[in-house]
Structure 1
Amino acid sequence: MTTAAEIESYLVEYQEALSAFDAQRSVAQWGAPGTMVTDAFVGSMATTAEMAKGLEQSYPLYQALGLASVDHTVLEHVDLTDRITRLHVRWHFYDVEGNLLTDCDYEYLLRRDDDGQLRAYVAVAIDEMEQIAKLAATKGIQLPS
């Protein structure tokens, strides 16, 4: 079973990597293949190199929106098996002055791999696009179509 402390450690590492715009460090929190599910998109990436490339492509938008740091709140943590955990997380995005820009919810399926590390294999973006679109509109930024 996965403890709250393990989940917190995993998420702190992930948010620090996201805050640093460090794609390699971020994707180290993932297993391969990794699958992203949104209302508009479903895709799996076979390697962490592919994941890093995809993540790096999002950085210019996040930087234009003023993202400087990320924090999280665990909304739910359910062990489905001894090695698989479902995690509902609210990510909080802050500007350089520490002001909240927006937040969004994700569901993850984490798996404890043979090396003992927790890694995400599936992420479901619940409201990210809506929240990013609202933030972009308030900042006058045109989102790519």
Structure 2
Amino acid sequence: MDITAERIDDFFARYAGSLTAFDADAAAALWSTPGLVVDDIASIVAASREEMTAGVQASYPLYTQLGLASVDHELLDVTRVTARLAFAHVRFVFRDADGARLTDTTSHYLLRDEDGELRATVCIETDAAENLRALAAEKGVELPDA
């Protein structure tokens, strides 16, 4: 099955929906294992579905403190790498219970078609840490030391 922009958009809609529902199992199911998340400071590898679930779940207390109630996404760009790999640039918009924008983040994902299902293999975060720090400062939420 071709990796189309429509399939990728659907993938990120499901991913955003799992974050909105605080459903770490559903979010982790969208990842290949091992999965890798990289930013300017660290590289985090989740070697198993259980590690991925725990990693996603670990962000939920902070999201709750920051007032996150829903997540939207915007697919910014897609580069097809091979028949089974695509590189996607996506923006996630985090909203409060009234639908007001709290912050956004942009990331790059390497997606792979695994038996007809898209899975994230690598996520390169570009501004998530910075934007979440700014939102926490605005909300008076103390962040744990990194």
TM range (shorter): over 0.9
Identity between Structure 1 and Structure 2 (%): 44
Cα-to-partner distance string for 1:48-102 (whole Å, 9 max, x where unaligned): 1101011111110000000000001111101000000000001000000000000
CA distance in 1, matches of 2:72, 2:16: 6
Matched residue of 1:12: which SS? helix
Q: Given residue 118 of structure 2, which amino acid in structure 1 is its aligned partner? A: L
Matching residue of 2:88: 87
Corresponding position of 2:133 = 133
Once residues 89 and 107 of structure 2 are traced to their aligned partners in structure 1, the CA distance between those partners, rounded to angstroms, is: 6
Unaligned runs of 5+ in 2: none
What code does the residue aligned with 1:38 have? D
Shift of 1:137: 0.5
Partner of 1:8: 9
Unmatched tracts of structure 1, length 5 or more? none
TM-score (norm 2): 0.96
1:143 paired residue number: 143
CA distance in 2, matches of 1:2, 1:44: 25
Q: Paired residues, what number?
A: 144
CA distance in 2, matches of 1:128, 1:32: 22
Q: Superposition RMSD on alpha carbons, in Å?
A: 0.7
Partners of 1:129 and 1:23 lie apart in 2 by 20
